A and B are shown apart, each in its own frame.
Chain A
Amino acid sequence: MNLSPMMSPRTKSNASSRPGLSGTVLAFHQLQKMRSSFVNICFISFFFAFALTLSTSATQLPQNWNSEFPKGPEKRTMMSALGRCAALFRAVIGMNSRQVSLEPDPGARRMRQIQRLIQNPNFVSKLGKKLGLEIRVYNQTPNADQPTGDFYRVEELPNGKLAVFVGDVEGKGPFAGALSMILLLEVIQISYTIKPNGNSCRTI
């Protein structure tokens, strides 16, 4: 297949009118469009089915159902956790699906995005410098396009202290990266309240 550089995602809708493309490429485009439509229809159907289930089951719930629903801080925590799960789900699904695009590997771009979230030496060194700490990072990764399980972060705490942590998830790839993201978020939250115990956490 001869894919010219002009075949960017922005111009893919004009693929059928572009002369010089072989029939195989055009058929490939049509198949990808059909697949995208099919996925959209499935998603919409699932959404309506979910809404229908929710509305029917709501009628069978006990009268005090609303009072059992978390309120205040608990509700905010739960909604925040749900939001994180949704973002994570989108990231993982996006990495594994081949979208309608002529990019060589759209998953690799997302993996690099995740890698930047969990391992960001520039952010770490800038925040450290602000507080008088020189932080340097040595990071060894077997494959630059593949997220690893290592993550690190520096957090400025409200009491003026700096929390520095390094974590590791076994394995590598999208799921190790995603798990690192979850752990990173949790550790950021914990770092505000954790008491150093001299073993896994220590005041320097």
Chain B
Amino acid sequence: MPNDIVLILSDGFWEAKHRIFGQPLYSLIRLQQLKIPLEEGLDGIIRFFRENFETPTDDATILSLQWRGPVTPP
């Protein structure tokens, strides 16, 4: 997954999961799928969810993963 950001959503984002995937189990999204600029990262996805879906009133978690390449020790 070069440069792209992968997001994993908890069940708190149930509406987003239902609308995007049609089922609650699947929780993995790539940022490019949602047409969000890559540089916005996690902030972009939070803004996108707030604008398009109901704000979760319960606990909700997003993990964003971006490949940066292996870190060489100093």
B8 within 8 A of A: yes
In the complex, what distance in Å separates the CA atom of A152 from the CA atom of B70? 23
Contact at A150–B68, with CB atoms within 8 Å? no
Give the B interface residue count (CB, 8 A).
30
Residues of B within 8 A of A129 (CB): 68, 71
Interface size, chain A (Cβ < 8 Å)? 32
Roughly how many angstroms separate A166 CA and B12 CA in the complex, as a whole number?
11
Is residue A107 contacting chain B, with contact meaning CB distance below 8 A?
no
* CB of B11 within 8 Å of the partner chain: yes
**7 A-B pairs, CB-CB below 8 angstroms?**
A124-B63, A131-B70, A136-B64, A138-B60, A165-B8, A166-B10, A170-B11
Residues of B within 8 A of A (CB): 1, 6, 8-12, 25-28, 41-42, 46, 56-71
Residues of A bordering B, CB below 8 Å: 119, 124, 128-142, 148-150, 152, 164-168, 170, 172, 199-200, 202, 204
New A-B pairs, 11, CB < 8 Å, besides A132-B68, A168-B10, A168-B12: A119-B61, A133-B67, A136-B63, A137-B64, A138-B64, A139-B61, A140-B60, A140-B61, A149-B59, A166-B27, A204-B28
